[in-house]
Amino acid sequence: MNKTVNITFDYELFFGPESGSVNKCLIEPTNLLFDLAKKHDVKFVFFVDAGFLWHLKKYLHIEKCKAEFDRVSEQIKKLSDNGHEIALHVHPHWEDSIFENSTWKINVNRYKLSDFNDSGVEQIITKYHQTLIEITGKSCKSFRAGGWCMQPFSKIKKALEKNNIFVDSSVYRNGFHQYTAQSYDFRTAPDKTEWNFEDNECIENTAGKFSEIAITPSVLSPSFYFGLYLRMKLNPGKFKPMGDGTWLKDKNKIYKQFYSRTDHFACCDGFFASRLKPILLNLELEAGKNRMLILGHPKSMAKCSFTYLDEFIFFAKNKGYNITTLTQ
Ligand SMILES: [Zn+2]
């Protein structure tokens, strides 16, 4: 396989108490990403939170919602027309969220697809996918579960088959999280950049019809988080995310990051983007690993992330990496 870097973004609002604005979380940072890709002549992958769009469409009689839907659709179409991949990102908690008094009331009681019954899962995946097809005129080929919550895969397999989607990019090896709303366990995933599977994303099956193109894993030390915290305090203009919403937080997980090494992944959000070069250099020391897959969010891009990403793209291209979509 050619040496490949995939730079992927989960295109979405925030899911904590404040969902943030479409302009600050999506439009503005994504326009900067579009310009960056153009500058380097590379292609990105945008996993679009289509549930947001499907539910936004219910409120087109409200002027603000109509304007937001038009702006976001126009941006997604432009990305797609320019060769970036528009992929399906599913956050099913939109099913229980409503727009009221000019703001989204987010309800995460059913945050995972597995919180819905089988026909519910199929309807959600199909109608969200259809929303993207209506915007771009193209079917999606790749999927990423919202909040990495794709398990058990048996719950979503049929719906993906029906939608002709056979590439997943939700797994990062050793990823493990158990929280009221969110849970996933990728501790047994293969130590590979990609593999085929059939019924369980963590078990390789060479004859399986699904491919996992995994998010590149990486371990973070407490010193990284102390550095991040200090930078955001001392120089928010450079290090704070552009998005103006609030995260769905698990306090225990946050504390843990400050006293033990934690499993993370190649990430271009905020100051995390400073680690992209060392992650690629480490990957090159491992036999057979010719692909690095980066995950980021437009909402979490900070001023510094654009600088780090710009330098990283230059660096990776010089090393002969093709920076492209998952299904080029
Ligand atoms: Zn997401």
CA of 53 from ligand 1 middle (Å) equals 13
- End-to-end Cα separation, the chain, in angstroms: 13
**Mean pLDDT, range 237-248, rounded to an integer:** 92
Average pLDDT on 255-284 reads 92
Per-residue pLDDT at 261 exceeds 90 = no
Closest listed residue to residue 142, CA positions, set 45, 75, 217, 209: 45
Most trustworthy range by pLDDT among 177-191, 234-248, 307-321: 307-321
169, pLDDT greater than 80? yes
104: CA distance to ligand 1 center in Å? 16
Distance from Cα 318 to the centre of ligand 1, integer Å: 31
Span from the CA of 300 to the centroid of ligand 1 (angstroms): 12
C-alpha of residue 214 to centroid of ligand 1, in Å: 16
Q: Residue 249, SS3?
A: coil
Domain ranges of the chain: 4-323
Distance 84 CA to ligand 1 centre (A): 18
Mean pLDDT across 314-324: 98
> Given a cut of 70, is residue 1 above it in pLDDT?
no
Cα dihedral 134/209/195/186 (nearest 10): 70
| Residue-level pLDDT at 249 | 75
Pick the CATH number of 4-323 from 1.20.950.20, 3.40.190.10, 3.20.20.370, 3.60.110.10: 3.20.20.370
What Å distances lie between residue 26 and 73, 144, 245, 265, CA to CA?
Answer: 11, 18, 11, 22
- Report the chain's mean pLDDT, rounded to a whole number: 95
Distance 206 CA to ligand 1 centre (A): 29
**Per-residue pLDDT band at 119 (split at 50, 70, 90):** very high
**Ligand 1 center from residue 150 Cα (angstroms):** 12
Separation of 47 CA from ligand 1 center, angstroms? Answer: 8
Compute the distance from residue 88 Cα to the ligand 1 centre, in Å.
Answer: 10
User: Does position 118 have pLDDT exceeding 90, yes or no?
Assistant: yes
